[in-house]
Chains A and B, each alone.
Chain A
């Protein structure tokens, strides 16, 4: 029953980095079984896999794919930041890496989007 903080206490970059890392990890974890199932369709032959790929050709799916690429890039770079914090030199919260992660994810997202439309 103790008094707890609200969003104002969480309004700083390292907390957003934690939240993004946790939410992206959750999203990717939820996605993986579907990803593995889809690829596993190849066990029934190329036609079965093609069937799924055609189904996944709709706009919403492509948007979700793009979203997952961005989440993956974010989670990876955020993770590298954590590895640096835990194993690297004592350099504080490494906020430059937070910005870097966002930049890298944006770049990966743009590269993927460009590929999607080419």
Chain B
């Protein structure tokens, strides 16, 4: 466990980045819930979904921001759970959460590209 990980500054940063991303996510989620409830009517089809998303740069920006916010927000909580409930040490919890954050970022941005560009 390195000194920086345990330090107050690092803790403070994790805390406020999680809260800032939470505020962004609150807005994104409200929009996403509305879109989902609208979109799922009459069933989902690739044609319908891609019809809305392809070439739509506003959509791309919105969902890219959404993905980045998730990639910042999820790891902080995950690390806490890993330490408190799964018995991982400080270092292991941090690496697990960072790896997962990276996974979300890569797969999420790939998904945005997939529905906007492909």
Contacts and interface: CB of A to CB of B under 8 A. Distances in A.
Query: In their complex, do chains A and B touch, with some C-beta pair under 8 Å?
Result: yes
Interface of A: 22, 25-26, 29, 32-33, 35-37, 39-43, 45-50, 53, 56-57, 65, 69, 72-73, 76, 79-80, 82-83, 86-87, 108, 111-112, 115-116, 118
A69 B36 contact: yes
B74 A83 contact: no
Nearest to B84: A22
Interface of B: 19, 22-23, 25-26, 29-30, 32-33, 36-38, 40-47, 49-50, 67, 70, 74, 77-78, 81, 100, 103-104, 107-108, 110-111, 113-115, 118
- Say what secondary structure dominates the interface of chain B: helix
B47 A22 contact: no
- Say what secondary structure dominates the interface of chain A: helix
A53 B41 contact: no
B33 A43 contact: no
B113 A49 contact: no
Most buried by A among B81, B103, B104, B107: B107
Nearest to B106: A36
Given A32-B70, A32-B74, A79-B26, A73 B107 contact: no
Given A79-B26, A80-B26, A42 B118 contact: yes
